[in-house]
A and B are shown apart, each in its own frame.
Chain A
Amino acid sequence: MEYAIEMLNIRKEFPGIVANDNITIQLQKGEIHALLGENGAGKSTLMNVLFGLYQPEKGEIRVNGKEVHITNPNIANDLGIGMVHQHFMLVEPFTVTQNIVLGSEPTNKLGKIDLAKARNEIQALSDRYGLQVNPDAKISEISVGMQQRVEILKTLYRGAEVLIFDEPTAVLTPQEIKELIEIMRSLIKEGKSIILITHKLKEIMEVCDRCTVIRKGKGIGTVNVSETNTTDLASLMVGREVSFKTEKIVAQPTDTVLQIKDLYVRDARKVDLVKGLDLEVRAGEIVGIAGVDGNGQSELVEAITGLSKARAGSIKVNNKEISNLSPRKITESGVGHIPQDRHKYGLVLDYTIGENIVLQTYYQKPYSKAKVLSYKEIFDKANKIIEEYDVRTPSVYTKARALSGGNQQKAIIGREVDRSPNLLIATQPTRGLDVGAIEFIHQKLIEERDKGRAILLVSFELDEIINVSDRIAVMFDGKVVANVKPEETNEQELGLLMAGSQVNKAGETSQ
């Protein structure tokens, strides 16, 4: 068998940790090869080594059978290796074209960038692989899905034969994921090879040919996808059995906690994105919001939590009007919020874990008396939460920045749940997390439900919505267009509703 890429016995150390310990991965020509592992297992590191961003301490890399030394991304590019990073590497104020040509710009005789030529080449590429982009749009103005297509075009523009995708689907809507899978298939058809990192086992089953599993920096092995199933893959990765179906008893909803009537919310560009929305969440139930990104979910959550203003309408929590109150007032009236972007909103990364635990309550007793902080109380509390929520950190004095994404998320969830809010809003709570962590978080949400809290779950993962919710509200174009019961629906139907299709029996029956 001929290999496009071979990484043999790679070792990569960071101060105090061996991120990759003797890992081997072999990519056959024309295959989609999955790389699977828990958060922090070392997947991104391994791929960054391949792409020339890191230098390995040990090991050998071969491209088409020849040993190479990839000391910087330029060499990787020259060897036909392209990478679509977990966090997009796009320059926001630049246009799509500028981003794609950056670093290998065509020029005319005056040394001026030949934009026309670039545009043509990009058009040709996007036609060939079905990657639709608007070459003149600014990155800040286009959707996440299109941004990802730009990333792919970047690699193709540089003549990549091997493409590395690092968690490409974590940020995509189901529709976009479908499109991406199509794109990957057409890439393979054109003779490219792909390494795909993802936490979604279903995706692996759907598109991948083989799968290499790593655990805690060590290579576990490579399996043929056709000869395995999701359960086996999960236990290979975690090293124990994992249950996928979240166990839960039937919900017992009681009083209405959140009541939203005829709500209108504008985004930063002063366009209404929530347009006359009605929604109710009762104590003891989990309401899942399903919808394609951009249909007003973020704006809805921001309006409830006070991060942006409601233009019109009413938001009541326990029969108290909270619309357009300050975030502090809203928090104090019993709203907890697990934010979508944990780095931007959820944590002060330069504060210790302990300090982050009291981010909303630092001014209250017992953490603060007469404006003077009691660090003992703060760290005591933090220790309790760390233990209870299994946050893996050296100590409460560790900076939040140093924790892995999953552990950061657990700390946030611990903090929000521990405040015993009447209403808990969880936005994409498991994004980018491995199955073990996902399982834990789902269980916590259900526990809270059973304690009588009202929970609003916003997620692009239909799996998650169907698994965890007691009721699903489908959002389309700023309104709730349907209320369905999870046990009475499936992904196909939800997908149709989310796309705004009007005719639906399920929606009516659930009323």
Chain B
Amino acid sequence: MSIRTFRGGVHPPERKDRSQGTPIERVTSVPQVVIPVNQHFGAPIQPLVKVGEYVKAGQKVADAEGRMTVPVHASVAGVVKKIEPRMQSNNTEGLCIVIEPKDPPEGESAQDYMLPLDPFACSKEEALARIRAAGIVGMGGAGFPAHVKLAPTKPISYVIANAAECEPYLTIDERALLEIPEKVVDGVVIVMKTVNAPEGVIAIEENKKHAIPYVQKAIDENPQVKAGMKIRIQELRTKYPQGGEKMLITAITGRQVPSGGLPMDVGCVVSNVGTLCAIAEAFREGKPLIERGFTVTGGACKTPKNLVAPVGTLVSDLAKAGIVEIDDQSLGKVIFGGPMMGVALPSYEIPVQKNTSGVLLMSEQEAVQYEEDTCIRCGRCIRACPTSIFPALLAIAIESENYAEAEKIGLLDCIECGTCSFVCPAHRHLVQRFRVGKQVLRALKQKEAQNVR
């Protein structure tokens, strides 16, 4: 089996050893959950419950009509205490439903799951409806609604399970591969069935080689595979951003997702390990996405761990409960997500969301900040950029407010992976500049469109 990869990229220090060896720990009791109503990429939804209402775990608490919406479920059984704006992991205040756990009235179940559904006996529409009803979004980062992704309008030749986990520090996917590979494989199989793909690929980075036998075993044992479904494991070079959707596709198939296009344009569907597990659970157990696994690690975290906790768990509650020990003295930066693409937050009193793959508690030493120096035009970013969009030139174009040029260079193709900023010897805020640039460019385009009209 050859090791594949893509052009560009970097290899930041992994630092996965901290939490690599700790098995996934399930958090069951939390003092409260703060469930953000809008956790997905798409149209906003509204709460369906009122303050004081009793909700069961798995009960739908917010939803709305519309293709790009995903419902949200109560992750614990309890009473709705408040519905108010709270700081979310994207650094803005958003409407959250605060639920305090409470035992259900006598004789009633604390759970309100759906009935299991056999993915191989139902129609495609039923399957998609189930995925939506389970509130599944892409758990890798952006939170793209899974039912939309799994309803491609073009023929799909590959379903790719993204187990690259290229972000440093994060180990939850690795643990999942080691501990519940059968669930992952099951998820792949279900997705393959749903999108009618002939081949499934589980993409694993070289540094997680030790998980391959487990996964292989799970594949071999999977009844569907035995029945003839084709799933293989693809080893990939350890390199960031190997787990980027586009990079993954290029590494495995050699195809390039066209500019402005989606993976389905090149016949691929890419799903994160967590998403696949959630899909498997949604069908097999009828369990909506109310729990998620994530890694808590970082220099200021004394107990690096892989946890599975109800969606909406505040990290501060975990600390109070002693599940996670945080060194407040040395804590310098709180990041939800990985160090390359995660969001820095002002505190850790923030709920874990459906798309939170890790909570990074960086110490002061780790969280060094650099003053921006002038660009020395070394071209490191150009060599590292996985999308070949010449970050240095792009930054200059943006700085000189030449947005036409910036667009030509490929501003909108930037995947914000952070590679360029990582390698920059002058510590230029390249990614941030591109984010702002994208915003301005989109605004300009909108304005132009209005003027034309």
Asked if A pairs with B, the answer is no
Residues of B at under 8 Å CB distance from A?
none
Residues of A at under 8 Å CB distance from B?
none
